[in-house]
A and B are shown apart, each in its own frame.
Chain A
Amino acid sequence: MAEQNTSGSTTAGSIEVGTAGAGAQLAGPGTGRAEVRQPIDARVAVEPSYDVTDFPVPTGREEDWRFTPLHRLAGLHDGTAVSADKGTDKVELGLPDGVTAETVGRDDARLGKAGKPVDRVAAQAYSAFEEALVVTVPKDAVLNEPVKIDVHGEGGVRFAHVVIDVKPFAEAVVVLNHTGSGTRAANVELLVGDGAKLTFVSVQDWERDAVHTAQQTALVGRDASLKSVVVTFGGDLVRIHPRVTYSATGGEAELYGLYFADAGQHLEHRLQIDHDTPHCRSNVVYKGALQGKDAHAVWVGDVLIRAAAEGTDTYEHNRNLVLTDGARVDSIPNLEIETGEIVGAGHASATGRFDDEQLFYLQARGIPEEEARRLVVRGFFAELVQQIGVAEIHDQLMEKIESELAGVA
């Protein structure tokens, strides 16, 4: 929405095959760096690892930690959370016929297949969890209702591990819903088998004081498709990190996100799509609204197209709507391209304000201020909610947006 806005900032770029610059690494405005540098993972100093001790304690100066207020992480980053009060969850499962859910120990062979933790907090979660939840959708099963995992935090520190294993040619919608309170570091693995279709919805509807970090690592099989939907409304600090890699050609990933940051909330979404396999597609749309003093949203979208990934088609898009003064958005799309033999690659980021002129225009037609604001925000999100196209969460999303708006002073 921001090209039209007089204030705020806009960056947009796209690369098409055959144009000058295709195949080169992007630098300059919107790429998040001033000069051409090494591929994305190279600027993160530490190799991915399951072991927390392989990562130094972040100081806040690291590229992947510079936006996160570490002092509000409740010790998840420096090891102190491990010795803090152990928390409890109430987990309720809704399992359609044929779907299994097992609680397993750390040594279960099905864990750790999607990919390794890439930062200290994710590695901490991997090093400290005691039991994992493994949900399996059997081969060829086409579910006509969603798998529901309702997690209600009851306080204290939790380290969680969830594996969603969707076997070949199965089709499933999985909704992981977070409510309640506490401090939580988690890894979620999404295994999307060959020809399978998984829609994974992660809703962060926490109480205001919760702290939640999660790495959601997906491995997309041959001709498989993943739709990831991340919805963040609640919590004091939420940092969600969806990652996608492809195990074979023909994979497809759509990543959608919707967030609404209120006064004082830090909502961070960073995602990485690693195109290391030919003929895969990805599309990212994240939209967020902010209102209130010190509401802070961070969006970092890293897309890497490696030399081998010919025929890649990718686009990423982040839009933010700032409703009041005193809110802050950091939006950084990063696109690195190591081959020119691609279908397309692009990114756009725009942050706009709901400004006085829009308000005046709507009010001048008799529409009261609060309703004008609602009209604009509803409009801003409605398109995305349509695009997400998951009927099971459609109403819940629109209702949450309404109730967030009711909080506008």
Chain B
Amino acid sequence: MATLEIRDLHVSVEAENGPREILRGVDLTVKQGETHAIMGPNGSGKSTLAYSLAGHPKYTVTSGQVLLDGEDVLAMSVDERARAGVFLAMQYPVEVPGVSVSNFLRTAATAVRGEAPKLRTWVKEVKETMAALQMDPAFAERNVNEGFSGGEKKRHEILQLELLKPKIAILDETDSGLDVDALRIVSEGINRVRATGEVGTLLVTHYTRILRYIQPDYVHVFAGGRIVESGGPELADKLENEGYEAYVKGGAVA
């Protein structure tokens, strides 16, 4: 069973006046089949956690460990992490002009699966997944994220999630900027992946709205660069009613 262990993770970014620490000792274990919601106010460092796990070069891990089934994730390059089974659905997916969605998906699937998917079954797989996400088939011929609306970008992220079948899915504010219909469609996609029982999900979000569609097993409150409270789904209800004020007033946020 796949397990992601984050132990006392400290992460800094380069700022104008030297390095600034954003993550200040994160401890979290996510197992296959589980869904963890990471909730926190703006600037609490939750997106930094997501990007650090994926290996974005902007973030420097100063101490701590990240292990996937005992393997040192921090020693891996970005693409090695992806091939090992870590997937990050990004809040702001990047436009890659000149590269078509279909070419991109097939290249990614080939890299992650270790061999080129068989053309016939692959085409069917992509078509069906796109249909489930209510994506126009014409999307496949467009350039990656180029001219996509916010909702289209998020659907495209979830399309990749469904096709690449990671062990650990980190969803960074996948719900932000979506209208109700898009939120439902995207959530259904995430739930299809969760229903396989083969993925551990780390749902990073500012709002509780998405949790109406995706029931988490655990909810963690993130503030000041670390997890300050953990609980079950009921913690989300508390946040819904009371907001983050109690955590922010603690002065942990820089």
Q: Which residues of A pack against B, CB within 8 Å?
A: 1, 4, 352, 356-358, 360-369, 371-372, 375-383
Contacts and interface: CB of A to CB of B under 8 A. Distances in A.
Nearest to B93: A361
A379 B141 CA distance: 12
9 contacts: A352-B97, A357-B94, A361-B94, A361-B96, A363-B79, A372-B79, A377-B98, A379-B100, A380-B97
Contact of A367 (B56, B57, B111): B111
Nearest to A2: B97
Contact of B54 (A356, A364, A368, A383): A364
A365 B100 CA distance: 15
A371 B107 contact: yes
Given A367-B111, A369-B79, A361 B90 contact: yes
Q: Which of B83, B96, B103, B111 has the most CB of A within 10 A?
A: B96
A379 B144 CA distance: 11
Contacts of A4: 95, 97, 146
A375 B57 contact: no
Contacts of B63: none
B191 interface: no
Contacts of A380: 97-98
B111 A366 contact: yes
B112 interface: yes
B88 interface: yes
Contacts, number: 89
A364 B98 contact: no
A360 B98 contact: no
A366 B83 contact: yes
A383 B146 CA distance: 15
Given A4-B146, A375-B103, A375-B107, A363 B77 contact: yes
Nearest to B99: A379
Nearest to B82: A366
B111 A1 contact: no
Given A363-B77, A366-B111, A376 B82 contact: no
A376 B164 contact: no
Contacts of A379: 96-100, 103, 143
B97 A1 contact: yes
Contacts of B100: 379
Contacts of A378: 98
Q: Which 4 A-B pairs have the closest CB atoms?
A: A379-B98, A1-B97, A366-B111, A363-B78
A378 B96 CA distance: 12
Contacts of A369: 77, 79
Nearest to B86: A364
B97 A364 contact: no
Contacts of B235: none
Contact of B82 (A352, A358, A363, A381): A363
Nearest to B95: A4
A365 B57 contact: no
Given A357-B94, A366-B79, 7 more contacts: A1-B97, A360-B54, A363-B79, A365-B107, A365-B112, A371-B107, A379-B100
A379 B98 CA distance: 4
Contacts of A356: 57
B108 interface: yes
A367 B107 contact: yes
B160 interface: yes
Given A366-B82, A367-B107, A368-B111, A358 B77 contact: no
Contacts of A358: 94-96
Nearest to A321: B98
A210 to B, nearest CB: 29
B247 interface: no
Nearest to B113: A366
A365 B160 contact: yes
B94 A366 contact: no
Contacts of A1: 97-98
A37 B187 CA distance: 60
Contacts of B94: 357-358, 360-361
Contacts of B218: none
Nearest to A352: B97
B104 interface: yes
Nearest to A361: B94
Specify which of B82, B93, B143 lies most central, judged by the most chain A CB atoms within 10 Å of its CB.
Answer: B82
Contacts of A371: 107, 111
B21 to A, nearest CB: 22
Interface in B126-145: 143-144
Most B CB within 10 A of own CB, among A366, A372, A377: A366
B98 A383 contact: yes
Contact of B99 (A364, A366, A368, A376): A376
Given A362-B96, A375-B99, A368 B104 contact: no
B82 A382 contact: no
B108 A367 contact: yes
A114 B206 CA distance: 68
B164 A365 contact: yes
Nearest to A379: B98
A4 B96 CA distance: 9
A364 B88 contact: yes
